[in-house]
Amino acid sequence: MTQMLDTINCSVCGHEAQRDHNLDTNEITIACDRCGFCAETEIVTDTTGRKFWLETLRFPIDEGGRVLRGPRVGQLSDVPAGGN
């Protein structure tokens, strides 16, 4: 398993966020320490053995309960699904 760790700009706040990229499967986890934004893609297998590409996004919420999505969300979905 080949992991690549680097940093990118957070999609929500623009701050530097950690990115963990599995080069074998193209699964990516992005975690921002500043605002709490988290974006995760992973390949999951259900009970029948069928595989799925799961994307999880976690957005921070302000004091008024408003979801802070930021201006650049959507980048993660631009990443093509990996594997075969």
Tell me which residue has tokens 């530097």. Answer: 16
Does 34 help bind Zn ion (rule: CB under 5 A)? Answer: yes
Contact between 37 and Zn ion by CB under 5 A: the answer reads: yes
Q: Which residue's CB is nearer to Zn ion, number 36 or number 82?
A: 36
Alpha-carbon distances of 84 from 26, 43, 76, rounded to whole Å: 11, 11, 19
Q: Which stretch binds Zn ion (CB under 5 A): 21-29, 37-45, 50-58, 71-79?
A: 37-45
Instruction: Please count the CA atoms within 13 angstroms of the CA of 13 that sit on its side-chain side.
Output: 17
Which residues of this chain interact with Zn ion, rule CB under 5 A?
A: 10, 12-13, 15, 32, 34-35, 37
